[in-house]
Structure 1
Amino acid sequence: MTDPQPGWYSDPADPDRLRWWDGMRWTPAVQQRVTTPGERLATMDRTMGRLRARDPRPFGWLVVVVPVLAIVGGQLVLSGVSASLLPTGYAARISLVLALMAGAELFAGALGLLAARPVAARFGWGDAWGVRRPRLSDLAAAAAGVALVFATRMVIGVAAQVLTNGRAVQESSNLHLPRMPVLAALGFLVVAAVIAPVVEEFLFRGLLLRALARRWSFWPAAVASSAAFGLLHTYQVTTLLGAATLGLVVFLLGLVNCLLVRATDSIVPGIVVHAVFNALAVVVSILSAGG
């Protein structure tokens, strides 16, 4: 087998640039690769390729299992325990529910951080898990994500209305807030639109998506992580039709946010999209309750 002819080839250390091969060895001469629109929408793929070139070892199954167990343990177990511990006073009940909701999310996030640290030590938090500082371009990506999620929800809503005479939409609602004081409403908004989006995007579009993409290609990883995200929300409703509808809605939210991560190599735009829709759901529920 002969060596390649002299020329510009993909840099083994950085797929985003080209390096000159003189026929026998790599030289110090490099230049930026001219990317196509399709390549620019696969920024995460190039980062993952660069990480594989540096260290081919997988991220390990711990960071695949932890997001699922963290959500199950943090939300299902704690919510089940809380049902038997809730005090009888209205204000005390709301306060405890808020504390348990926030605690469940923070508990899941803490487990995720512990599981993610070894890989972050190898590659850095940004490249390993997409944990980057917000950028101005994230706003444009988030706006596109909000529009895309809104369009998918409209399609599902119309289809559910036609096929089930509205039953699917009614039974898929996972947020039924009673009339409550302003401070309590603000507390629910903080948990749903700030804490939950940050933690869940880190767990599912950070840890789970990237750990799976390290082993598979993007699309199988995106579908699998989004399916897990959708399934772990279905316990919040009581009927099969409602669970299937809610699972589909949440799955598509997860899939859109996977696309945003692929395009931007950051979980920040997905956090914004997640926060927008959670905030809208809370506001609509509170207004419907007359609070």
Structure 2
Amino acid sequence: MDSAVRVARTPRWGITDAAVGTVAATILVLLLSAAALRGWPQDPRLSEVLSYLVVWVPLLGTVLIASWWRGAKSLVTDFGFAFHPLDLLWGLTVGVLARLLAGILEIAGYGRLGSAGATFGEPVRDLWWVFAALLAPVLIGPVIEELFFRGLLARAVAGSARSNGGSRRTATALAIVVSGLVFALVHILTVSTPTAAMVIGLSTFIFGAAAAALSQLTGRLGGASVAHITFNALVVVPALMG
């Protein structure tokens, strides 16, 4: 493990902070979903921006508050937000394998590959298209989500388990399972059918658990972030080319 990501002192953030971020994101997502059913907002661009912000703001806000007010004021020290060249190899491997498993689940659930993926209209390829179709789902979203789910949440669960007498192995296992479960639950909040909930829920749990295992193993978020970017890109890029 890199010395840069070793925690220099016991942080004051933990399970409560992770719970606050999760609940806040859940409430905002459900409120936006309810508003959409009533026809607001009518501007599709505003709707898309809000769909990202209701997740990004509470998750990233919780991470920043936890680090700056209750931690070491360093995303590297608090959450392992660091990258090593080996993380590229690990991340690509985990991302591709998780996407292959997700594809198998899609075929089993929908009868065809990719029906759980993103769909896009006629590409305009302006700055908005670059943000909405590429930057937001492939780069910005994965980094923010890894900071929260594998940085704050997984570390909080592991730390809580250790402080309550659990072994390192038990703490790591709990961090992996809880991170994967919460990650999956957040992704099925607005899913409309049981089949989609099953497919998306299992797919995101598998990926979330794998990313958590990778981050726990290396002590960094670099590999998990690369894996998340790869996992999302393998949905978005084929959809854009289709």
Q: Under a length normalisation based on structure 2, what TM-score does the superposition of the two structures give?
A: 0.79
Report the alpha carbon displacement of residue 251 of structure 1 after superposing the two structures with TM: 0.5
Q: Show structure 2 runs of 5+ residues with no match.
A: 162-170
Match of 2:130 in 1: 186
Displacement of 1:142 in angstroms is 1.3
Whole-angstrom distance in 1 between the partners of 2:96 and 2:118: 22
Shift of residue 248 of structure 1? 0.3
* 1:141-152 → structure 2 map (5 Å cutoff): 141-152=90-101
Q: Which runs of 5+ in 1 are unaligned?
A: 1-42, 88-92
Candidates 180, 197, 209, aligned match of 1:243: 197
Pair 1:193–1:167, CA change in 2 (3 A):
closer
Distance 1:82 1:259 in 2: 36
Structure 2 residue identity aligned to 1:100:
L
> Aligned equivalents of 1:100 and 1:260: distance in 2?
31
For 2:54 and 2:20, the matched residues in 1 are separated by: 14
In the alignment, what sits opposite 1:204?
149
Are the counterparts in 1 of residues 18 and 62 from structure 2 also a CA contact under 8 Å? no
Q: Distance in 1 between matches of 2:44 and 2:202?
A: 30
Aligned to 1:121: 72
Question: How far apart, CA to CA, are the structure 2 residues paired with 1:144 and 1:250?
Answer: 16
Aligned residues: 229
Task: State the Cα deviation string for residues 152-201 of structure 1 (Å, max 9, x = none).
Answer: 3344345x1xxx5717974xx26343334222432221110121101111
Tell me which structure has the larger Cα radius of gyration. 1
Greater share of strand: 1
Structure with more contact order per residue of length (Cα contacts < 8 Å, sep ≥ 6): 2
**Structure 2 Cα separation of the partners of residues 168 and 201 of structure 1:** 26
* Aligned partner of residue 86 in structure 1, secondary structure: coil
Does the CA-based 8 Å contact 1:106-1:199 persist in structure 2?
Answer: yes
Specify whether residues 207 and 165 from structure 1 end up closer, same or farther in structure 2 by C-alpha distance, changes over 3 A only: closer
Deviation at 1:240, TM superposition (A): 0.8
Match of 1:232, SS state, is helix
Is residue 202 of structure 2 the alignment partner of residue 253 of structure 1?
Answer: no
Whole-Å Cα distance in 1 between the matches of residues 66 and 231 of structure 2?
28
Report the AA paired with residue 208 of structure 1.
L
Q: Distance in 1 between matches of 2:110 and 2:230?
A: 28
TM-score calculated relative to the size of structure 1: 0.67
| Between structures 1 and 2, the one with greater helix share | 2
Worse-superposed segment, 206-215 or 60-69: 60-69
- How far, CA to CA, are the matches of 2:206 and 2:17 in structure 1? 22
Q: Distance in 1 between matches of 2:203 and 2:110?
A: 18
CA shift at 1:58, angstroms?
Answer: 6.8
Aligned partner letter, 2:16: L
CA distance in 2, matches of 1:112, 1:78: 22
